[in-house]
């Protein structure tokens, strides 16, 4: 399977350094431009997606809809499995407000996010093994998908570089999660920061 993984465009909440988690999020003008940039870049690669899967949260679904303008005949599925991790009672607070605090017990654990990521990865591989697929999600869930493919343990998750809003991961993987290609914006790269 050829898999492209995109993060949603920048939001007003990103600019305010807010823990968005499963807030809907609203693309700002930069975010809309980033989504258009990604759509154009994917179009210029002459890709024909067999299916698009997107987080159902507004910031990702709006990004997907902008991309879909370039791939209008492609079926799309909005799913909760590509949502960002749930910050629980930290949702809507700024990073500054939570600095030095222990993550709340009502938030989604990293292990739970990994399980969700593996679930959508394996179900997509089972159905679209030899197809070209696009995932549109969020930094955390996208890193969890990469971690599942590369068998990166939970303990190293925070060392993985952040996926920027207009970054495009490109992978080729088989049904056993064996990877034969892994690029970021068409280039090899250092995954760990």
The single residue of 8, 34, 108, 170 carrying the catalytic annotation is 8
Q: Where are the beta strands (DSSP E) in the chain?
A: 2-7, 51-55, 76-79, 132-137, 168-173, 179-184
**pLDDT at res. 175:** 86
**pLDDT at res. 39:** 97
How far, in Å, CA of 7 to CA of 60, rounded? 7
Q: Which domains does the chain have, with CATH numbers?
A: 2-184 (3.40.50.1240)
All residues at 6 or more sequence positions from 74 whose CB lies less than 8 Å from its CB, including other chains: 48, 49, 50, 51, 52, 68, 134
**pLDDT at res. 176:** 87
**pLDDT at res. 166:** 87
The single residue of 10, 34, 84, 170 carrying the catalytic annotation is 84
84: annotated active-site residue: yes
**Exposed/middle/buried for 128, CB within 10 Å: 0-12, 13-18, 19+?**
middle
**pLDDT at res. 141:** 98
19: annotated active-site residue: no
**pLDDT at res. 20:** 97
pLDDT truncated to tens, each residue of the chain (193 aa)? 999 999 999 999 999 999 999 999 999 999 999 999 999 999 999 999 999 999 999 999 999 999 999 999 999 999 999 999 999 999 999 999 999 999 999 999 999 999 999 999 999 999 999 999 999 999 999 999 999 999 999 999 999 999 999 899 999 999 888 999 999 999 999 899 7
């Amino acid at each position: 399977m050829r898999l492209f993984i995109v993060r949603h465009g920048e939001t007003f909440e990103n600019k305010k350094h807010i823990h968005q988690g499963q807030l809907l999020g609203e693309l700002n003008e930069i975010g809309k431009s980033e989504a258009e940039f990604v759509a154009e870049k994917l179009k210029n690669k002459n890709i024909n997606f067999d299916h698009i899967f997107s987080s159902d949260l507004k910031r990702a679904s709006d990004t997907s809809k902008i991309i879909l303008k370039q791939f209008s005949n492609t079926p799309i599925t909005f799913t909760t499995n590509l949502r960002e991790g749930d910050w629980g009672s930290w949702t809507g607070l700024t990073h500054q407000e939570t600095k030095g605090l222990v993550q709340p017990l009502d938030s989604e654990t990293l292990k739970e996010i990994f399980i969700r990521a593996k679930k959508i990865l394996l179900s997509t591989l089972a159905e679209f093994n030899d197809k070209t697929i696009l995932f549109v999600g969020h930094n955390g869930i996208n890193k969890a998908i990469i971690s599942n493919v590369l068998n990166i343990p939970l303990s190293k998750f925070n060392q993985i570089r952040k996926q920027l809003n207009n970054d495009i991961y490109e992978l080729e993987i088989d049904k056993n999660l064996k990877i034969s290609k892994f690029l970021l914006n068409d280039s090899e790269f250092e995954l760990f920061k």
